[in-house]
Structures are given as structure tokens and as C-alpha cells.
């Protein structure tokens, strides 16, 4: 399937666990298109944000069925997520700029 680089990256995951991964290990968790593979994701990140990607781990998060009231149930959607590890000196700041880091890592 031919995916545009703008269709591959859906957005960041803003959960507590994702924030801890970002703060402690400088890893980024993103939602991506369900049919995108690792090479497409890596290429899209490098072209969109001008960063060097070291490693990508993908996983599918299955949707859950939830009951709201007695006879009403809803189903959360299934999403594909990735954990991105950047090469030394590169990172994506979700609320600032992207690219080569000017602040050395500790």
C-alpha cells in the first residue's frame, strides 16, 4: 500500500507511561497508520522532522469493549503504536523545535 508520509504519523501518545519513557530514556511514543511498516515510519520521521532514527519498536494496541449503561456498550478502536529511539544528539520536542539537539544529553 502506498502511504503518504503525512498519513503515516497520526500523533503523539500522551499517557503517563509514554511521558516517563520520554523523560527517562529519551524515547518517543507515536500513533501511526495500521498498515505502515518500520521502514516507512523511519523514513517519514526522518523526512518530516529532520532527525536520525536509531531503532523503532511497533506494537498493536487492541481496542476494548466498554459498558456505559445497562444495555449500551462501546468499543475503543484498535491502534498501532511505535516507540522511537533516536540517535545520539537528536530528539523531537513535541512542544518546541525538532532536529539536532543544541543541549547535550546527560
Global pTM exceeds 0.85:
no
Q: What value does the CA radius of gyration of the chain take, rounded to a whole number of Å?
A: 16
Rounded (5°) CA angle 85-86-91: 120
Give domain limits for the chain.
Answer: 5-95
pLDDT tens, residue by residue, 34-75: 999 999 999 999 999 999 999 999 999 999 999 988 889 999
pLDDT at 97: 47
The mean-pLDDT minimum among 9-23, 53-67, 88-102 falls in 88-102
Listed residue (87, 88, 84, 90) closest to 38, CA to CA: 84
Going by pLDDT thresholds of 50, 70 and 90, the confidence category of residue 23 is confident
pLDDT at 100: 57
Element (H, E) at 13: none
| 2 φ/ψ sector (left φ>0, alpha ψ -120 to 50, else beta) | beta
Architecture field, domain 5-95: 2-Layer Sandwich (3.30)
Amino acid at each position: 500500500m502506498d502511504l503518504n508520509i503525512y498519513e503515516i504519523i497520526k500523533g503523539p501518545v500522551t499517557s503517563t507511561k509514554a511521558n516517563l519513557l520520554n523523560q527517562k530514556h529519551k524515547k518517543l511514543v507515536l500513533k501511526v497508520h495500521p498498515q505502515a511498516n518500520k521502514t516507512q515510519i523511519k523514513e517519514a520521521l526522518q523526512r518530516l522532522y529532520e532527525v536520525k532514527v536509531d531503532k523503532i519498536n511497533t506494537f498493536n494496541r487492541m481496542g476494548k469493549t466498554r459498558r456505559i449503561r445497562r444495555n449500551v456498550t462501546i468499543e475503543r478502536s484498535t491502534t498501532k503504536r511505535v516507540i522511537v529511539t533516536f540517535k545520539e544528539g537528536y530528539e523531537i520536542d513535541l512542544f518546541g523545535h525538532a532536529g539536532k539537539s543544541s543541549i547535550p544529553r546527560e
